[in-house]
Amino acid sequence: MKRFNWLLLLSLLVFACSDVNTNLLHTVSNGRMLYEEHCANCHQSNGSGLAQLIPPLNRADYLVNYPQQIPCIIKFGMDSAIKVNEQVYHLKMPSNPQLTDKDIYYITQFVLYNFTDSHAIINDSEVALQLKNCGK
**Helix, strand, or coil (residue 80):** coil
Among 57, 72, 112, 122, binds ligand HEC (CB under 6 A): 57
Q: How far apart are CA 113 and CA 128, in angstroms?
A: 18
Contacts of 80 (CB under 8 A, 6+ apart): 90
**Binding of ligand HEC by 11 (CB under 6 A):** no
By the rule CB under 6 A, 112 interacts with ligand HEC: no
Residue number with the smallest Cβ distance to ligand HEC: 39
DSSP for 42-75? HH-TTS--BTTTB---TT-HHHHH-GGGHHHHHH
State the minimum distance, in angstroms, from the CB of residue 50 to ligand HEC. 9
The C-alpha atoms of residue 13 and residue 93 are separated, in whole angstroms, by 43
| Residue 79 C-beta: closest distance to ligand HEC, Å | 5
Position 89 contacts ligand HEC (CB under 6 A): yes
Residues that bind ligand HEC (CB under 6 A): 38-39, 41-43, 54-57, 60, 62-63, 70, 73-74, 78-82, 84, 89-91, 93-94, 96, 107, 111
